[in-house]
Amino acid sequence: MMTNYFPKAYSKSKVMLALTSILILSACMFPYSSNVGISKDTHKVSFKQVVVKQNNASPLTQSIQKIPTVARALSAATAAKDRVAITRSQKELTIQGTGSSGIETKTSDSSEGILVVGVTAQKLLNDNGQTDRSIYLSELGAEIATLESQVAFDQALQQILEAYTSQNHTLKIESIITNYVSQFNEREDLVQTAVKAGVLSNSDYLELQSLKNEVLSEQAQSVFQSDSSSSFLKTSLSHNFTKALAELEENFEVKDDIKLSTDGTYQITLLNLNKLQLQTQIKLQEAANSFTTSWHTTASSPKSRGAGSTIFAGITMGLPFKDGGKAKASIVALNKELEVNALDVSSYKEKVSLAQQGLDNFESFNQKQSSLLNERMRISKDRIEELELKLKAGRVDVSVLAKEILTLARAEIAIERLKHDHIKQRLSALAATGQTCQVANLCDAKE
């Protein structure tokens, strides 16, 4: 007997659902409004983007994007962008349907089966800008995550460039030592002959051997550093190693005149975005206990025969009276964080200023030291030419010539090391502003 009642209840619910549809459409006519608008232009901060699209990216860029730290930062940026849509949905119309069926007993003698169907629609009308600010915070979070992925990219590039320049440097050192040790070895037989003839003391010969071993020790160290750098590059550049290295060799260039600036750098942009986040969070807390309104529509079918459908359509209002001081305490804490943010900006600018001073000081030192080392190498070459002539004339022993060859080797090694130190100083200075991408022609790439 119970089954006889379900079709009737269900037919009434159809009529009720049609009414609900009309009410839902009326709710759509009440758009969300806010007493406090947020300009979308207030948080747009321009900065150079390093992370380029996966498609059509260069081999070097593709390799860096696959480094775990960079890949994670890129994924985090994508996730942050996707979360913006979730926050924006708070302003949209929501519709929820419910249904239940069973038996309702009114007396001990009779009972009837029922099917109850309900639909609820709700849309936010006004919350004093809280939802707008939540969306704004979500958008800021997406921008910050994107910027952090670019920072990770630049840091990974910095490590690759350090390994690349170190490998080139050590290979040159190894080549220099091989050349001069070969010249020394050509005279070593003459030295040994002079020792046997008593023209040269064994002590002088041992001194030459000691000087040679010192140079060979430097060569061994260079080989080790070269192998270490090569292993790092092969691991970092992975399957694109050959193409990425070729791209790096073609584009790598460190300009002589570097002027550091905090304008538009990754770090200063991050700090500015963090400041905007804190300011928005303060506004949210200030409006936390404000009056809110929302359009609310509910319709449900009758529970039993003879009863009418239940329909409600109107505005729901809310006004929190007391939150235990949470909003006030949050505002105090957020203002303290703003002070920390201001100190971070000052600290960063000081760091960049010191990096520029350090670079300028090194440039001055490099100019003087380079001049002295080149003069030292010129003198050593002139001495070798003179000693060669004297040796042929029998006016000097071969040990003096051999020793001068090793002296020349050390001078050339010192020049090469100074060049490498110069490159490291400039790379380090660029790293202070997060603009290492300049030396690899990657800063103009756009996402």
Q: What order do you get walking across the sheet with 310-318 strand by strand? A: 94-105, 111-126, 292-300, 310-318
Tokens at residue 119, please?
């639909």
pLDDT 10s digits, 201-248: 888 888 888 999 999 999 999 999 999 999 999 999 988 899 999 998
Q: How many CB atoms lie within 10 A of CB 254?
A: 18
Query: Would the pLDDT of 5 be above 50?
Result: no
pLDDT for res 104? 60
Report, as an integer, the average pLDDT of 244-257: 87
pLDDT for res 32? 54
Asked if 329 and 378 count as a contact pair (C-beta separation under 8 A), the reply is no
pLDDT 10s digits, 409-424: 999 999 999 999 999 9
Query: Would the pLDDT of 94 be above 90?
Result: no
Domains of the chain: 42-93+136-290+329-440 (1.20.1600.10)
Query: Would the pLDDT of 330 be above 80?
Result: yes
pLDDT for res 108? 52
Query: Would the pLDDT of 2 be above 90?
Result: no
Q: Which of the 8 DSSP states describes residue 54?
A: S
pLDDT 10s digits, 117-149: 777 877 777 777 788 888 999 999 999 999 999
Gap between the Cα atoms of 276 and 270, Å rounded = 10
- Mean pLDDT estimate for the chain: 81
What is the SS3 assignment for 69? helix
pLDDT for res 337? 95
Burial (CB count within 10 angstroms: exposed 0-12, middle 13-18, buried 19+), residue 338: middle
pLDDT band (50, 70, 90) for residue 306:
low
pLDDT 10s digits, 386-409: 998 998 888 888 889 999 999 999
Tokens at residue 126, please?
């006004």
Amino acid letter, 21: S
Partnered with residue 113 across adjacent β-strands are 103
Q: How many CB atoms lie within 10 A of CB 284?
A: 22
* Lowest-confidence region among 43-47, 240-244, 333-337: 43-47
Asked if 374 and 398 count as a contact pair (C-beta separation under 8 A), the reply is no
pLDDT for res 72? 95
pLDDT band (50, 70, 90) for residue 47:
very low
